[in-house]
Amino acid sequence: MIKLRLKRYGKKREVSYRIVAMNSRDRRDGRPLEELGFYNPRTDETRLEVPAILKRLKEGAQPTKTVQRILEKANVYEQLKA
């Protein structure tokens, strides 16, 4: 199963995440199928590649709870319904 989830990177206590599409059985920092965005929780900065995310969601990819909240804030699900 393909999951949309966060991949951690950055220094200690200065963490950032990439939003990636990965096989659910792969390890957290393994090689992703595709990088779909960026999330920095310290500054609440988010950059998303919306067309690629919509494509993955239409193919049946399941977001984790955290990624789902990020996508809801960016109104990605409204674009999916339209």
pLDDT greater than 90 at residue 80: no
Cβ atoms 58, 66 nearer than 8 A: no
Q: What CATH number is attached to the domain comprising 66?
A: 3.30.1320.10
pLDDT greater than 80 at residue 82: no
pLDDT in tens, 30-68: 899 999 999 999 999 999 999 999 999 999 999 999 999
Domain that holds residue 1: 1-79
pLDDT in tens, 1-19: 999 999 999 999 999 999 9
* Domain count within the chain: 1
- Return the pLDDT at 30: 86
| Cα–Cα dist 11/56, whole Å | 29
| Cα–Cα dist 71/69, whole Å | 5
- CA-CA-CA-CA torsion sign (9, 70, 5, 52): negative
Using CB atoms within 10 Å of the CB of residue 54, give its burial: 0 to 12 exposed, 13 to 18 middle, 19+ buried.
middle
pLDDT in tens, 18-32: 999 999 998 888 899
